[in-house]
């Protein structure tokens, strides 16, 4: 008699000879591009993750009880970096093919979601996105009309250069992935964050513009507060102050939307007062 899939701990069919060919694997990681298509606040990315896993799971689990248990497992809460999610997918497919106990697979998912999310966010949001966006923005400011297309091309070329190899690497790594991830995630996240903050600092100086209208008339000349005083202390000190001020407001719990409204209203008021 088949076990109830709600209580199953190990797969009934322990055959590990399922053939996950290149075509099937390609279909799986391509589907993972839609991992956030059904994003919701109950299970986050679970629907998208399950959708990507289904073709391989059907090939691995011929027993209906096993397939049902696996589908149920991968429809549980799931949320990680969309950039590095294929690494987890590769590892989990290796575990599924090896018919590891369901609790082992679940434990890996729970343990790896956080580190991979941290690494992916630091790498994508703080490093690759600012770099590619700043290059495209510079081109657009110079009158290059295809600047946005260049951004999309660069951004996605970098993404796919990471997306596919880490899927294959995760599949080959299998069960050893968790230990490696725990050892390297902190150092990798720190390195990516440092690079990202360096880029953000460069963007602050290049793209944040603040121009004071305050001048002090002197005998035979005019003293411009910004050019002759503040910029002499440190070039672009005003953009830095604005960025730090926005950061402090966000860290105090004020939403980014409210910070933008404060900046807009404040800029209008200060302009009419002759300060900006």
DSSP assignments along 158-185, one per residue: HHHHHHHHHHHHHHHHGGGHHHHHHHHH
Which residues, other chains included, contact 19 with Cβ-Cβ below 8 Å and sequence gap of 6+?
59
Same domain as 134, residue 58: yes
pLDDT at 35 over 80: yes
Same domain as 247, residue 178: no
- What is the predicted pLDDT for the residue at 143? 84
Say if 47 falls within a structural domain.
yes
Angle between helices 147-173 and 22-31 (to 10 degrees): 130
Count, residues in the chain: 276
- What is the predicted pLDDT for the residue at 52? 92
Say if 117 falls within a structural domain.
yes
Same domain as 229, residue 187: no
Which residues, other chains included, contact 260 with Cβ-Cβ below 8 Å and sequence gap of 6+?
none
Which residues on neighbouring strands pair with residue 78, listed in sequence order?
44
pLDDT-derived band at 176 (thresholds 50, 70, 90) equals: low
Mean pLDDT, residues 27-39:
88
Q: End of a domain among 156, 172, 205?
A: 205
Distance CA 226, CA 214 (A): 8
Same domain as 192, residue 62: yes
Same domain as 85, residue 101: yes
| 203 vs 26, residue with greater confidence | 26
pLDDT tens profile 36-54 = 888 888 888 999 999 999 9
Say if 224 falls within a structural domain.
yes
- What is the predicted pLDDT for the residue at 207? 72
pLDDT tens profile 122-172 = 788 778 888 888 888 888 888 888 888 988 898 888 888 888 898 988 888
Say if 6 falls within a structural domain.
no
Same domain as 224, residue 108: no
Which residues, other chains included, contact 17 with Cβ-Cβ below 8 Å and sequence gap of 6+?
none
CA nearest to 164, candidates 32, 61, 17: 32
Q: End of a domain among 165, 183, 205?
A: 205
User: How many domains is the chain partitioned into structurally?
Assistant: 2
pLDDT tens profile 177-236 = 655 655 555 665 566 567 666 766 776 666 777 777 777 777 767 677 777 677 777 777
- What is the predicted pLDDT for the residue at 58? 92
Mean pLDDT, residues 246-266:
86
Within 13 Å, how many C-alpha atoms sit on residue 225's CB side? Answer: 11
Alpha-carbon Rg of the chain, whole angstroms?
Answer: 26
Same domain as 99, residue 158: yes
Say if 16 falls within a structural domain.
no
Say if 104 falls within a structural domain.
yes
Q: End of a domain among 181, 205, 229?
A: 205
pLDDT tens profile 64-123 = 999 999 999 999 899 888 888 998 899 899 888 888 888 888 888 887 887 888 788 778
- What is the predicted pLDDT for the residue at 83? 87
DSSP for residue 236: T
- What is the predicted pLDDT for the residue at 122? 77
| Full domain range(s) for residue 267 | 209-272
Same domain as 161, residue 66: yes
Say if 14 falls within a structural domain.
no
- What is the predicted pLDDT for the residue at 3? 44
Same domain as 103, residue 228: no
- What is the predicted pLDDT for the residue at 186? 60
Whether the pTM exceeds 0.85: the reply is: no
Same domain as 219, residue 194: no
Same domain as 51, residue 78: yes
Say if 17 falls within a structural domain.
no
Same domain as 32, residue 44: yes
Which residues, other chains included, contact 49 with Cβ-Cβ below 8 Å and sequence gap of 6+?
32, 35, 74, 78, 85, 89
């Amino acid at each position: 008699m088949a076990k109830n899939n709600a209580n199953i701990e190990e797969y009934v069919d322990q055959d590990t000879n399922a053939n996950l060919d290149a075509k099937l694997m390609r279909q799986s990681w391509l589907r993972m591009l839609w991992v956030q298509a059904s994003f919701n606040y109950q299970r986050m990315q679970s629907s998208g993750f399950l959708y990507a896993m289904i073709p391989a799971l059907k090939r691995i689990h011929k027993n209906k009880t096993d397939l049902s248990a696996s589908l149920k497992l991968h429809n549980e809460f799931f949320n990680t970096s969309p950039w590095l999610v294929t690494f987890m997918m590769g590892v989990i497919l290796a575990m599924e093919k090896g018919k590891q106990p369901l609790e082992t697979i679940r434990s890996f998912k729970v343990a790896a979601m956080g580190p991979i999310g941290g690494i992916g966010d630091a790498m994508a949001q703080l490093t690759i996105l600012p770099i590619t966006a700043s290059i495209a923005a510079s081109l657009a400011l110079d009158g290059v009309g295809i600047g946005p297309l260049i951004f999309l091309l660069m951004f996605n070329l970098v993404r796919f250069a990471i997306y596919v190899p880490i899927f294959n690497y995760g599949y080959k790594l299998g069960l050893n992935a968790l230990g490696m991830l725990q050892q390297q995630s902190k150092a990798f996240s720190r390195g990516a964050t440092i690079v990202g903050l360096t880029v953000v600092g460069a963007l602050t100086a290049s793209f944040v513009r603040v121009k004071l209208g305050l001048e002090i008339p002197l005998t035979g000349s005019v003293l411009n507060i910004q050019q002759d005083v503040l910029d002499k202390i440190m070039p672009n000190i005003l953009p830095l102050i604005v960025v730090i001020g926005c950061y402090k407001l966000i860290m105090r719990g004020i939403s980014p939307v409210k910070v933008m409204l404060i900046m807009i209203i404040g800029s209008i008021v200060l302009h009419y007062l002759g300060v900006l």
